[in-house]
Amino acid sequence: MTNCATEDVGHNLEGFDGTDQPLIRFINTNTSALTDITGTLYNESGTIVGSANQVIVGSLSAKQQTFITRDNLASTLGEQWDGIGSLNVSDVSGLKLILVSFIAESSTFFNSSCFGGSDDLDNPMTPPVLEPVLEPVVEPKG
């Protein structure tokens, strides 16, 4: 299983029964602040987890970024989930999502976002041609 994020959806967020830790990076690419970024998490059967349309990120200043952990997300939604989840966030111009997973087995962080071969976040690929890009973000120190 590979996590995948685009501009407004984070797919394959590993639930609380898994060993890997998904982190969702919210990035404001605008020159002005974003406020009240909402989201709804769906489990693998398509059922809403917790409460829908909850504020996931209250505000992001211009060019600011923040990480939301699985624990943060569950606390905001009011419920944990098992299995796989997909987070749909509000359609906000200039907002980009990147999924990073902490792989417990190898103690490594992986960028698991579905952007093309470019590092340019302004040009993400869109379905149905999404292919995960897996690359180590932080190498473990030995």
Instruction: Summarize pLDDT for 86-131 with one digit per residue, the tens.
Output: 888 888 898 888 887 756 566 655 565 554 444 444 433 333 333 3
> How would residue 30 be classed by pLDDT, with cut points 50, 70 and 90?
very high
* Domains contained in the chain, number: 1
pLDDT at 2 over 70: no
Q: By mean pLDDT, which of 36-40, 76-80, 93-97, 138-142 is the weakest?
A: 138-142
- Reading the block at residue 126, the tokens are 């869109």
Domain extent, residue 38, equals 4-138
Please state the separation of Cα 89 from the chain's center in Å. 9
CA neighbor of 75 nearest in space, from 111, 92, 51: 51
pLDDT at 34 over 80: yes
The HSE-up count of residue 21 (CA atoms within 13 Å, CB side) is 13
pLDDT at 84: 85
- What are 22's strand-pairing partners? 101
4-5 and 65-69 strand pairing: unpaired
pLDDT at 15 over 90: no
